[in-house]
Amino acid sequence: MSDNTLILGLQWGDEGKGKIVDNLSESIDVVCRFQGGHNAGHTIKVNGQKTVLHLIPSGILHINTKCLIGNGVVLALDALHKEIKHLEEKGISFQDRFFISSACTLILPTHITLDIVKDKKESIGTTGRGIGPAYEDKIGRRAIRFGDLGDLKSLKEKIYSLVKYHNQLLENIYQHKPHDADEVFNEVVKYKELHDKYCIDAPQTMHQWIKNDKSILFEGAQGTLLDIDHGTYPYVTSSSTTAGGVSTGLGIGPKFIDKIIGITKAYTTRVGEGPFPTELHDESGSMLAQKGNEFGATTGRPRRCGWLDLVLLKKAIFMNSVTDLCITKLDVLDEMQEIKVCTNYHNGVPVYKNFEGWLTKTEGISVFSDLPEKARLYIQFIEDFVECNASIISTGPSRNQTILR
């Protein structure tokens, strides 16, 4: 029987999930996204060529791997169309290997406007792409779904009703000009071809894949500390980024998840507002940002950088029942004279354990025993503290710059 694997982030996102999913997808039959939207940015580097995916699962670069966007994802049709065209220009085929759940909630132009005007007032630090308002409509049972494109008459009625509701919010609460419902409808219908090509009953298809013993990889977006319930609320995303989100976001029971790989950087980053106990505002923080190229793949915003927080990491590992740890960007620490990890808090202030830096190049190393001794000790301390073995260690952005243990 084939093993099914969940890959998710254990921090505030940007942990390097895309590379790991791509790395493992070569031997996987299906890769499924289960939450989030085009606020995600998964970067993959192959033969020196960088690809950034926002909606399409990272397995798409392997020609024998099928990809599914599950119902837990909120879908921006213009962004999806652009991403598909970009990949097709690179020679990537989507025929008979790319599918979208009919139950995906659509992001409308009105959602984007609401997101922008609300964030100006509330300062949560969203990407301004309509993700949150789209999830609000989903929970409010008034969302437009991908499958609705199959009946244009009914779709028009639903869009007119929803745009009327959105315009009331825009005009009366945010003093913003309204949207034209006809324009919104025409913008959605413009992408009907996507529905005709890719729309499926996802749980039924998943059931067939399971029956046929297909190996499935579940790809998370963002990270555990941004989970709507368990993250640093209210500075969180609007979806379930933890392991529980797989079942609700795809329509598959938890017993079909055999392995859970949790990904963390060798340090910590965060984009946008919200608490960050180990954040650095000194030369060490600047060095991490520079060496790690810490700018958001989706927004381009600089990421806040800090030391690895083992207290939060251990909590995230427990919450997700992580079976295997993956540590990325170890090579970013190569030039650090001193490295710290948070092991406790005293009156809300991090308590650190200090490590001597290894000051030796680790980039590209693919065998654990070839790492400098001080780097091995650093990894072993992390493993012991969080009580989880690091079976994957990334030593660079490319596929082959990976240690598998």
pLDDT tens column, 16-44 = 988 888 888 888 999 999 999 997 777 77
Write down the pLDDT at residue 295: 83
Whose CA is closest to 393, among 81, 23, 68, 5?
23
Write down the pLDDT at residue 265: 98
Helix pair angle (152-172, 109-122), 10° resolution: 20
Q: Does residue 338 surpass a pLDDT of 80?
A: yes
Cα–Cα distances (Å) from 72 to 37, 107, 239, 356, in that order, read 9, 13, 8, 43
Q: In the chain, what percentage of residues exceed pLDDT 90?
A: 83
pTM (2 d.p.): 0.92
N-terminal to C-terminal alpha carbon distance within the chain:
22
Pairing of strands 49-53, 308-309: unpaired
Q: Does residue 380 surpass a pLDDT of 60?
A: yes
Q: Does residue 1 surpass a pLDDT of 70?
A: no
The mean predicted confidence, pLDDT, of the chain is: 93
DSSP annotation of 177 reads P
Q: What are phi and psi of 357, to 5 degrees?
A: -70, 155
Alpha-carbon gap, residue 304 to 290, rounded angstroms: 11
- Give me the amino acid identity at 120: K
Q: Does residue 299 surpass a pLDDT of 70?
A: no
Alpha-carbon gap, residue 311 to 227, rounded angstroms: 17
CB-count burial class (<10 Å; 0-12, 13-18, 19+) for 334? middle
Write down the pLDDT at residue 230: 97
Which secondary structure element, helix H or strand E, spans residue 116, and what is its range?
A: helix 109-122
CB-count burial class (<10 Å; 0-12, 13-18, 19+) for 283? exposed
Question: Which region among 42-46, 156-160, 352-356 has the lowest average model confidence (pLDDT)?
Answer: 42-46
Provide the pLDDT confidence category of residue 56 given band limits of 50, 70 and 90. very high
CB burial of 130-145 (b: ≥16 within 10 Å; e: otherwise) equals: bbbbbbbbbeeeebbb
Question: Hey, how many other C-beta atoms are within 10 angstroms of the C-beta on 324?
Answer: 17
CB burial of 22-50 (b: ≥16 within 10 Å; e: otherwise) equals: bbbbeebbbbbbbbbbbbbbbbbbeeeee
Alpha-carbon gap, residue 186 to 323, rounded angstroms: 47
Domains parsed from the chain with CATH numbers: 105-193 (1.10.300.10), 263-404 (3.90.170.10)
Residue linked to tokens 């009327």: 164
Question: Which region among 12-16, 155-159, 308-312, 358-362 has the lowest average model confidence (pLDDT)?
Answer: 12-16
Provide the pLDDT confidence category of residue 46 given band limits of 50, 70 and 90. low
Catalytic residues: 14, 42
Write down the pLDDT at residue 399: 83
Question: Which region among 15-24, 133-142, 187-196, 234-243 has the lowest average model confidence (pLDDT)?
Answer: 15-24
Write down the pLDDT at residue 266: 98
Cα–Cα distances (Å) from 99 to 53, 55, 96, 195, in that order, read 16, 12, 8, 10
Write down the pLDDT at residue 127: 77
- Please, where are the H alpha helices in 140-277? 152-172, 181-189, 192-198, 202-211, 244-250
Question: With helix as H, strand as E and coil as C, how does 71-93 read?
Answer: CCEEECHHHHHHHHHHHHHCCCC
Write down the pLDDT at residue 284: 95
